Amino acid sequence: MHRVLYDNTLRPSRRSVLMGAAAVGAGMMMPGGARAQDATPQRGGTLRVSMPYNPASLDPITGRNLPDFNSLYALYDALIGFDDETLELQPMLAKSWEWSDPSTLVLELQEGVRFHDDTPFDAEAVVFNLRRGLDYERSNVKSDLNGVEEVEATGPMQVTLRLAAPNAALPAILSNRAGCMVSPTAVQAAEGGNIDRAPVGTGPFRFVEWRDNDLIRVERFDGYWQGPELPYLDGIEYRIINELNTAARTVTSGQADLALQLAAQQIMVARRTDNIIATATTSMTYYTAFFNYARGPLEDVRVRQAMNYALNRADLQQVLMMGLGEATCSIFPSEFWASGPEAKDYYPYDPDRARELLAEAGYPDGVEIATLSWPDQAAMQRTEIIGNQLAQVGIRLNVTPVQPAQAIQVFMIEQQGDMLISPTGGNPDPSLAFDRQFSATALRNAGKVELPGYRELLDATMTTYDFDERQQKLFELELFVAENALHLPQYMSAGMAIQTGKVKDFTFGILAAPRFHTVWLDENA
């Protein structure tokens, strides 16, 4: 039984053997790790949060967008936790886990945990949730659990997962949507099992109300299993404000305590404001354009490559991120352990090469790409600048704005359009990052096709538990994605948030999935 260790550069320790991430003893996970606090935490108060996107769902397995996690981890605990800053896996609802053989993962569960509706959390509840993730017709985590052949309660508080083949990514997968535990009682009582708007988890806060595009309100769960002192907050009010400047002003004017998922412009302004803390931290979120390469002009790899050569990523990063991000052709920040040496700069800015490739593909006079984009001000600005760069080589974007909650439905499921410009990321394991975007079963793969050679490379990243070998296989997969131009990466984002000084022990971690278990308010600040 071995632990996965990560150092502060986001790179696993060389001593790590990715055979599993087992917890030593039954210690509990404190989200965000053990960080120094400048005062004794105080109980009470409601945290007022401004965020720009209405969730797609508050059911973890039917939701689709990364901003859903602004509220998901308040309502739900996952089987496995992680450190916000390093991604080191930690105990959560599973107090320990180990691989009894390369294809069998055994989870030992915390005792004394109850869901918000007083349903006991036990092995049967875990089996119910994992089977639901695999079988529920509306589940968006089926591909995450692909290869899980059997889920069995092998004791009152023990669950055994048997796989068709080794999968080194599975413990990290169980720290994300697929591992978030929902009350079986609530699901069984809901019509069609639909709890999108009636969430019941084991998290530190319980659901109160959701008014579309306005407010989500949660309150302290007094029976929280991690101890009577947690959470410190009485509740959280999430205000949904799509205009980013307005969201930022709610904090600077004192109407809110914290604003999430901002853009660089708001960070720069906030840094000039007294008594406001503005942060831009390393993030696993990146900006790209999803392609439907199963048909139309993007079926031709030369068109996809031309689009990649036509982007001046350094300029995009400076203009749109004000230097707070990282220009890249990869899906990982350069310091991340799975980021290879060749992918980051695979497509230098070369408009002449882009025109040559378009001509070779049969488009000497250019080509039109039916494009979907989010409709908020920052997204439209991004789309306009990208469109202007592509237009220089004859690639014309025909843009339709679509709200984030509907964009994936329209593009990925209904297959309208050739391309969707959108941020993505926030995956706890690199194999999962590729699987969620490029596998035939992936929600974000609109054409539902895999190019020859992809599957073998992906499987190789998940079937080895040797760190050096797995890292090399990930480098090879990353290079395959770049060579075949399976998307249009632009830059890595920073995790950007602003807050007042009274918000304590908050970290907007590298997955951009905030947790509020230990956040507290200092009314004297």
| pLDDT of res. 117 | 98
DSSP classification of residue 409: I
- What's the length of the chain? 525
What b-and-e string marks burial along 297-333, b requiring 16 or more CB atoms within 10 Å of the CB? Answer: bbbbbbbbbbbbbbbbbeebbbebbeebbbbbbbbbb
Q: DSSP 3-state assignment of 123? A: helix
- pLDDT (tens, 9 = 90+) of the chain, 525 residues, equals 333 322 223 344 333 333 333 333 333 444 444 344 558 999 999 999 999 989 989 999 999 888 899 999 999 999 999 998 888 899 999 999 999 999 999 999 999 999 999 999 999 999 999 999 999 999 999 988 989 999 999 999 999 999 999 999 999 999 999 999 999 999 999 999 999 999 999 999 999 999 999 999 999 999 999 989 999 999 999 999 989 999 999 999 999 999 999 989 999 999 999 889 999 988 999 999 999 999 999 999 999 999 999 999 999 999 999 999 999 999 999 888 899 999 999 999 999 999 999 999 999 999 999 999 999 888 999 999 999 999 999 999 999 999 887 888 899 889 999 999 999 988 889 998 999 899 998 888 999 999 999 999 999 999 988 889 999 999 999 999 999 999 999 999 999 999 999 999 999 888 889 999 999 999 888
Cβ atoms 67, 261 nearer than 8 A: yes
- Report the C-alpha gap between 230 and 249 in whole angstroms: 30
Per-residue tokens: 123: 């092995």
Q: Which spans in 410-510 are helix H? A: 430-438, 454-462, 467-483
Examine residue 156 and state whether it is found in any structural domain, yes or no: no
H or E segment at 281? strand 276-291
Residue 30 lies in a domain: no
On whether residue 480 sits in a domain, the answer given is: yes
Q: Give a yes or no: residue 443 inside a domain.
A: yes
| Cβ-based neighbours of 335, under 8 Å, separated by 6 or more | 9, 10, 11, 282
Phi, psi for 322 (deg, rounded to 5): 55, 35
As given in the structure block, the two tokens for residue 239 are: 């205000």
Q: What share of the chain is helix, strand, coil (3-state, %, to 5)?
A: 30, 25, 50
The whole-number pLDDT of residue 38 equals 57
Q: What angle do CA 212, 217, 221 make, to 5 degrees?
A: 145
pLDDT of 66: 81
SS3 of residue 294 by DSSP: coil
Domain limits at 476? 286-492
Q: Which residues pair with residue 218 across a beta bridge?
A: 207, 236
Amino acid at 92: M
- Flag whether 421 is in a domain: yes
Q: What is the pLDDT of residue 2?
A: 32
Q: What is the CATH number of the domain that holds 422?
A: 3.10.105.10
pLDDT in tens, 113-150: 999 999 999 999 999 999 999 999 999 999 889 899 99
Per the structure, how many domains does the chain have?
1
